[in-house]
Structure 1
Amino acid sequence: MTDPTLDRTELPAQLSEQWDAIAALVADIDENQWRTPTSLPGWTVFDVVAHVIGTESWLLGERPPPHDPLTVKTDVSTLPHVRNETAVFNEIWVDRLRPMSGVRLLAVYREIVERRRKALAALSEEEWTAHTQSPIGQVSYGRFMRVRLFDCWMHELDLADALGVTVDEGGRRGELAFTEFLGGIPRVVVKKGGAPEGSRITFALTGPLARTLRIQVAGRAGYVDSFDEPATVEIQLSSGLFVRLGGGRTTADEHLDEIAITGDQELGLRLVSKLAFTL
């Protein structure tokens, strides 16, 4: 069955809307605001936008700009938050773009995403379904674009949080991005959260992406529609906090008054404390 969240008409349209949402957030900020720290280690508002430019430029077949000889050259591989080759790639783009002003960066961003819109529109069905390398391994190009939507949606939240503004985290764009995010949750509750065999875990999410997630550990962890027995633990929190915990943007200890745990308290606390997997 065709996955409706990978529709080659809707997904590029939502990705295009997502790019516009990022541009709108930074369109009227001043240079000091561009340099506001975000929850991402070492990155400012400027750096987050530069990162999006870097990835979309790479997808257009471009290389990072040359190092500015008037700035000190940084070995980005030595930065404490850089742990793999993907992070090195990301940091190189950000580092090379930092000498720009925020106004110039936004102009480059708009030019790059406009070219990406045209490139997506020109893709054939065969190209959309062909397998390609992505941050999550070999997947169809369409699936990679859903990963891109999630990444850009998450960065919209990063920018909004840093700038102290509220954005709509729901809607169809949020639903598609959240679908990509949710795919990693069953694995993380076992691999990082240590949920034992036989566990029945409920996440009761409130807010713009409200839903009830039921995960059963039976050989492997997976979503189920219902449990045959009561849940081992039920964790209630907002969808916004859930995605920020999963993205490593904050910690459960900072939000214990926003999390309600019923059942196995020890397991529940461990799960929300070990939820980060996308940073």
Structure 2
Amino acid sequence: MTDTVPDRAEITALLSDQWDAITRLVDGLDENAWRTASPLPGWTVFDVVAHVIGTESMLLGEPTPDIEVSGEHIRNEIGALNEKWIAALRPLTGSQLLERFLEVTGRRLKALEQTTPEAWAAKVPTPVGMAPYGRFMRIRVFDCWMHEHDIADALGVSVDEGGTRGTRSFEELLPALGRAAVKGAGAPDGARLTLDVTGPVSQRLDIAVEGGRASLVETLDAPATVVVSLDSGLFARLRGGRTTADAHADRFTVTGDTDLGNRLVRSLAFTI
């Protein structure tokens, strides 16, 4: 998947739609709502939007603000870099931040539309290692899609989690799923695991464990050792580290090897 170069027109359109979705969520919020705590530690709704602005500003070549930041939620250099942008933007009002969001994303869309096929396919540093720039932009769709849900969850509103944006973003949740099965859940050699994902982005995810490694397969070659059933919204939030299985015990079921299934559903987080 890393070397796949997505279609530029499709990804650009998805980013445009995704930024429009975020705009609809926050447009007209009062200041108290802007400062509502989000599922991300240390971040409010305002901070989530500021983070998106910061990332897109960096992609436009703007320098990172030279600001000292601190906080228990800052775990590494990337976290500190993100926080610098948020700290620089916090003095703004919510409406001013939205204006900045619209201005920055508008410039980004123009830049994407002018990206040459060579630049779109060129390998660049990304959160998943060196990969084509277009692949990086699909990761940006996923990141902004997750942040749309962070905002919606903070505000207590529902959004459409399916469609093309949901399907494309869901693809970013699947790499390293085998690691969750082996390293996280301790699935033994010979285990066959199924995640039956229902809802807006329905998928059956089959995992086979052999030689201490696990991988997604098209079909299992033996009956499933365990089947975990859950909706795609919960799956995305668990993979994104936004919540815990224990907080939503009524939204998933485990059949077969219940111990292994319960370990798996509690080991899905790979990012936050």
Please state how far the C-alpha of 1:225 moved relative to its aligned partner.
Answer: 1.7
The structure 2 residue matched to 1:131, chosen from 112, 123, 127, is: 123
CA distance in 2, matches of 1:191, 1:121: 41
> What are structure 2's unaligned runs of at least 5 residues?
none
User: 1:188-267 residue pairs with structure 2 within 5 A?
Assistant: 188-219=180-211, 220-267=213-260
The corresponding residue for 2:97 is 105
Please state how far the C-alpha of 1:81 moved relative to its aligned partner.
Answer: 1.7
Change (3 A) 1:2 1:45: closer
CA contact (8 A) 1:65 1:97 kept: no
The corresponding residue for 1:75 is 69
The corresponding residue for 2:57 is 57
Please state how far the C-alpha of 1:188 moved relative to its aligned partner.
Answer: 2.2
Deviations, residues 150-176 of structure 1 (Å, cap 9, x unaligned)? 000000000000111110000011101
Amino acid paired to 1:46 = F
User: 1:8-157 residue pairs with structure 2 within 5 A?
Assistant: 8-65=8-65, 75-76=69-70, 79-157=71-149
Amino acid paired to 2:91 = P
CA distance in 2, matches of 1:268, 1:2: 28
CA contact (8 A) 1:50 1:105 kept: yes
Please state how far the C-alpha of 1:192 moved relative to its aligned partner.
Answer: 2.1
CA distance in 2, matches of 1:66, 1:233: 50
CA contact (8 A) 1:38 1:158 kept: yes
Change (3 A) 1:15 1:89: same
Please state how far the C-alpha of 1:235 moved relative to its aligned partner.
Answer: 0.1
| Partner SS state of residue 181, structure 1 | coil
| Partner SS state of residue 195, structure 2 | strand
CA distance in 1, matches of 2:190, 2:129: 29
Amino acid paired to 1:33 = A
Per mean C-alpha deviation after superposition, the further-off stretch among 220-229 and 182-191 is 182-191
Please state how far the C-alpha of 1:183 moved relative to its aligned partner.
Answer: 1.9
CA distance in 2, matches of 1:109, 1:97: 11
CA contact (8 A) 2:2 2:131 kept: no
CA contact (8 A) 2:4 2:132 kept: no
| Partner SS state of residue 39, structure 1 | coil
Change (3 A) 1:29 1:210: same
Please state how far the C-alpha of 1:75 moved relative to its aligned partner.
Answer: 3.0
CA contact (8 A) 2:65 2:84 kept: no
Please state how far the C-alpha of 1:64 moved relative to its aligned partner.
Answer: 3.3
Normalized against structure 2, the TM-score is what? 0.96
Amino acid paired to 1:272 = V
Runs of 4+ in 1 over 6 A off after TM superposition: 1-5
The corresponding residue for 2:271 is 278
| Partner SS state of residue 9, structure 1 | helix
The corresponding residue for 2:162 is 170
> What are structure 1's unaligned runs of at least 5 residues?
68-73
CA distance in 1, matches of 2:178, 2:135: 19
CA contact (8 A) 1:247 1:276 kept: yes
Equivalent residues, number: 271
CA distance in 1, matches of 2:66, 2:99: 19
CA distance in 2, matches of 1:5, 1:206: 28
Please state how far the C-alpha of 1:274 moved relative to its aligned partner.
Answer: 1.3
The corresponding residue for 2:261 is 268
Please state how far the C-alpha of 1:5 moved relative to its aligned partner.
Answer: 7.6
